[in-house]
Amino acid sequence: MSFVEETVGYMIRRVQERMFAAFHRRFADSGLTPAAYATLATIDRNPGVRQGRIAEELGLQNSNMVNLIKSLVERGFVERHRSASDNRVFTLTLSSAGKLFIEKMNERALALDAEYTRSLSDEERRTLIELLGKMITDPQ
């Protein structure tokens, strides 16, 4: 219907919208936004990471991390401690409740990902991730 359908930009936007909606359907009862989930998953893999580093890695704004982290702490999933070596820094780790929680959420994320890539074969899904990875790691 329009030649925008032949551009990557438009197609990505459409797919992203659908995935966003699907995420909120699947994670509605979890109280997690995509950013909050990605933050938890990053802390899980990198215990002791500081919040500014997570923001850099995930492409989030540092200022927007504050309330995000605060809510994760209040829910008992994340622990914040002052760094011993640098008193400006808060190091972040998962509590045992947080570890249990992220395990369940990881399962859910994988199921969700399988759901909205169900029209792709396993190989196509891998190819898609690989091509998107090339675009992201391109220094621009």
Partner DNA sequence: TATTGTTATACTCTATAACTATA
Partner DNA sequence: TATAGTTATAGAGTATAACAATA
Residues at the site binding DNA, with contacts judged by CB under 7 A:
13, 17, 21, 33-35, 50-53, 60-66, 69, 86-90
Binding site for its own copies (CB under 8 A): 1-20, 23, 34, 37-38, 41-42, 44-46, 57-59, 106, 109-110, 112-113, 116-120, 124-125, 127-129, 131-138, 140
84: CB partners within 8 A, 6+ apart: none
Please say whether the beta carbons of 34 and 23 come within 8 A.
Answer: yes
Hey, what's the torsion of the CAs at 70, 76, 77, 82, to 10 degrees? 60
97 binding partner (options its own copies, DNA, none; Cβ < 5 to 8 Å by kind): none
63 binding partner (options its own copies, DNA, none; Cβ < 5 to 8 Å by kind): DNA
Structure-token pair, residue 122:
């396993």
